[in-house]
């Protein structure tokens, strides 16, 4: 695959790859060996030569494969796609990725099936959602995009917003839950607020009170701990409706009311603001 990138200031190819994008040594080496960078005038032989602002670089990226089995029989809803990223909806009840080699039926298997049908061979999720959570997941379509997006996630440059319906009234109506999260030694898969856990910060805001006395919230993550929203809301006494693992009464269909409805970030290659929303009725 190939794409073009216009330098935003004067710099060398080496500076762009290592400092601006923060690519790892392996990826940079593969690109160098493939002679995968050219510009307007000629092939870039010297990666240390300073190029002027506005220089258009062409990247010819070697084909890469993902370790996941393609599942072409499972349809997915794609809400954004370009040559670098794909953003699609993960349904409730589906794992984001396989938990063991050869496993199929997950979101990323369906994404790979979609990509293969459209002439691509690589796809890696940037973040994950719990099996019972529906919503938007960002997928990188080549290794450089994966590398850069991982770094953006670490630096909190990707915003993720959720909607949830919780039991009861939430007081105060908006706020920040800043409580560390660790493993629950009494349950293999459950997490809990623990002074020895990892730092976790969740912002919440009440949208409205439901007719049945429950509360609809919008939430934003500063961190991405396992079950973070579920743990934090249960900790303040307002577990998500249907989330039996964290103290709520189970729903008839076994699901719980949490949906990742919005993601946003500044595109690292085009510098455009990307905002994708997927509001659904919980």
Which of 91-95, 100-104, 233-237 has maximum average pLDDT?
233-237
Mean pLDDT of 265-272: 96
pTM (2 d.p.)? 0.92
Q: Identify whether the C-beta of residue 266 lies closer than 8 Å to the C-beta of residue 272.
A: yes
Query: What's the CATH code of the domain at 140?
Result: 3.30.2350.10
Mean pLDDT (the chain) is 93
> Which DSSP letter does residue 257 get?
S
Tell me: do 146 and 208 sit in the same domain. no
Check whether 102 has a pLDDT greater than 90: no
Which of 114, 123, 118 has the alpha carbon at shortest distance from 142?
Answer: 123
pLDDT at 129: 95
pLDDT at 65: 83
Check whether 139 has a pLDDT greater than 90: yes
Which of 130, 184, 243, 253 is an active site residue? 130
192 beta partners = 182
Give 108's contacts (C-beta < 8 A, 6+ positions apart): 66, 68, 96, 97, 98, 123, 124, 125, 139
Residue 215 within any structural domain of the chain: yes
Which of 227, 263, 105, 238 has the alpha carbon at shortest distance from 169?
Answer: 238
Q: What is the DSSP string of 206-233?
A: EEEE-TTS-EEEEEEESS--TTHHHHHH
Give 80's contacts (C-beta < 8 A, 6+ positions apart): 86, 87, 274, 276
Query: Domain range spanning residue 46?
Result: 2-60
Mean pLDDT of 212-230: 95
Q: Identify whether the C-beta of residue 271 lies closer than 8 Å to the C-beta of residue 169.
A: no
Whether residue 63 lies in the annotated active site: no
Residue 140 within any structural domain of the chain: yes
Residue 274 within any structural domain of the chain: no
Name the domain count of the chain.
Answer: 3
């Amino acid at each position: 695959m190939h794409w073009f990138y216009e330098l935003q200031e004067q710099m060398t190819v080496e500076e762009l790859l290592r400092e601006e994008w923060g690519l790892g040594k392996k990826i940079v080496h593969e690109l160098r060996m493939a002679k995968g960078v050219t510009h307007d005038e000629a092939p870039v032989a010297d990666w240390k030569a300073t190029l002027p602002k506005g220089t258009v670089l062409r990247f010819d990226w070697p084909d890469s494969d993902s370790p996941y089995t393609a599942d072409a029989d499972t349809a997915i809803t794609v809400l954004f796609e370009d040559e670098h990223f794909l953003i699609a909806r993960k349904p409730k009840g589906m794992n984001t990725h396989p938990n063991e080699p050869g496993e199929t039926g997950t979101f990323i298997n369906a994404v790979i099936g979609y990509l293969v049908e459209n002439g691509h061979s690589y796809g890696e999720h940037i973040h994950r959602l719990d099996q019972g959570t529906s919503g938007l997941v960002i997928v990188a379509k080549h290794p450089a995009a994966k590398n850069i997006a991982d770094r953006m996630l670490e630096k909190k440059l990707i915003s993720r917003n959720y909607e949830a319906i919780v039991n009861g009234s939430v007081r105060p109506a908006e706020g920040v839950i800043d409580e560390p999260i660790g493993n629950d030694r009494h349950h293999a898969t459950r997490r809990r607020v623990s002074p020895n856990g990892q730092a976790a910060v969740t912002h919440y805001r009440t949208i409205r009170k439901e007719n049945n006395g429950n509360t609809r919230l919008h939430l934003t993550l500063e961190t991405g701990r396992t079950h973070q929203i579920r743990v934090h809301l249960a900790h303040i006494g307002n577990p998500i409706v249907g989330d039996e693992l964290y103290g709520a009464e189970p729903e008839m269909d076994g699901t719980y009311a949490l949906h990742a409805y919005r993601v946003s970030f500044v595109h690292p290659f085009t510098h455009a603001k990307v905002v994708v929303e997927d509001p659904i009725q919980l």
